[in-house]
Amino acid sequence: MTTRQDRIAALHAAARERILVLDGSWGVMIQRRELSEAEFRGGRFADHPVQLKGDNDILCLTRPDVVSDLHDQYFAAGADITETNTFSATTIAQEDYRLSPDDVFDLNREGARLARAAADAWTAKEPGKPRFVAGAIGPTNRMLSMSSDVNDPGARTVTFDEVYDAYSHQVRALNEGGVDLYLIETITDTLNCKAAIKAILDLADEGVEPLPIWISGTIVDRSGRTLSGQTAEAFWHSVRHAKPFAVGFNCALGGELMRPFIAELSRVADTLVAAYPNAGLPNAMGDYDEQPHETAHFIEEWARSGLVNIVGGCCGTTPEHIRHVADEVAGVSPRAIPERPVAMRLSGLEPFELTA
């Protein structure tokens, strides 16, 4: 695969043939390294005015060896797709660390380049199993749909244009770095997601080569709703206009509790369905106790029930979790994409469908 178009064609072909596997958690693996403040700073940020320890994304610039090693670990475990280490790499989120827009752009571009190099190396090593790079686009730390002041329902700390600009800045850098698709993930606020979608679609309108879009929301509890209040089906109706390569859920819930919402999305979405749960729910100390074989057991059941096309792991999952997941879904046919009848479908917090 010598061009991006070749890679995208291979991605679509692989999705038709088998259930694809995404990598697992980055946070838990980076925490295990117990890196020092000096290691987070590196030479470039040696005199930075605030603490950088905890800004995992900055490691794309200061400890690229750590980032590359994690890509390799997940590919070795059986992942088809790796995420860039850019989950919080927007100008808005990086304001907490006082990074400049130029720093944030470099962070995203280099994160994409590191993932691209790892994917290309593994594809060359195992040509029968091409590897792909998803540009990770997180939710930012500010919401458009919810007030920042309980006494003022209209209060917001950010505008749609500001969120759009932040995502546009990130998307351009990820594109330049060589990602194969964009992954808008851990979506708690659908309006934030729409800003990211617009940033991606506008980039394509400028003549930049369009890339597949994967949209992954987060159901926050057993109510089956996102933080901004939408059900699974309503969420799908809200983002379907983007014609995503895949849609699904990640984070918040473990595999056992996520299943009914994946099943609902599988019923209504006429595109690939993806799911990458946490390793169960966190314990009292915030750690995840679900073992690799337990996570893989839930995901295997989804696969054999015909619910999913892409699987992986979120918080608390490790390369060993991904190895078990990849082993369990190997040979299982991917979900068949349903043909939905023509209808007018709308959504607010709830879905609305009107057929002839």
Query: How many alpha carbons fall within 13 Å on the CB side of residue 170?
Result: 33
Domain ranges of the chain: 4-354
Confidence band, pLDDT 50/70/90 cuts, at residue 352: confident
Radius of gyration of the chain, Cα coordinates, nearest whole angstrom: 19
Per-residue model confidence as pLDDT tens digits over 211-227? 999 999 999 888 889 99
What pLDDT, on a 0 to 100 scale, did the predictor assign at position 228?
87
Show the tokens assigned to 81: 């797709």
Neighbours of 205 (CB within 10 A): 9
The label of the residue with tokens 């994304």 reads 57
Q: What is the CATH topology of the domain spanning 4-354?
A: TIM Barrel (3.20.20)
Measure the CA–CA gap between 153 and 188, rounded to whole angstroms: 18
Nearest 5°: the CA angle 4, 56, 221 is: 90
**Strand (E) positions, the chain?**
20-21, 81-83, 132-137, 181-187, 213-217, 246-254, 272-278, 310-311, 344-347, 351-354
Residue 193, annotated as binding a ligand: no
Residue 315, annotated as binding a ligand: yes
Kindly report the average pLDDT of the chain as a whole number.
95
pLDDT top residue among 336 and 145: 336
Residue 234 contacts residue 347 (beta carbons within 8 Å): yes
What pLDDT, on a 0 to 100 scale, did the predictor assign at position 150?
84
- In this prediction, residues 156-176 reach a mean pLDDT of 97
Confidence band, pLDDT 50/70/90 cuts, at residue 236: very high
Start-to-end Cα distance in the chain = 46
Per-residue model confidence as pLDDT tens digits over 266-302? 999 999 999 999 999 889 888 899 999 999 999 999 9
Q: Is the pLDDT of residue 153 over 60?
A: yes
- In this prediction, residues 76-103 reach a mean pLDDT of 98
The label of the residue with tokens 């469908």 reads 353
Question: What secondary structure letter does DSSP report for 332?
Answer: P
- In this prediction, residues 316-332 reach a mean pLDDT of 97
Per-residue model confidence as pLDDT tens digits over 297-309? 999 999 999 999 9
Measure the CA–CA gap between 246 and 214, rounded to whole angstroms: 5
pLDDT top residue among 147 and 49: 49
Backbone angles phi and psi of 221, in degrees to 5: -160, -170
Amino acid at 234: A
Confidence band, pLDDT 50/70/90 cuts, at residue 342: confident
What pLDDT, on a 0 to 100 scale, did the predictor assign at position 1?
57
pTM assigned to the model = 0.96
Q: Is the pLDDT of residue 2 over 80?
A: no
Residue 60, annotated as binding a ligand: no
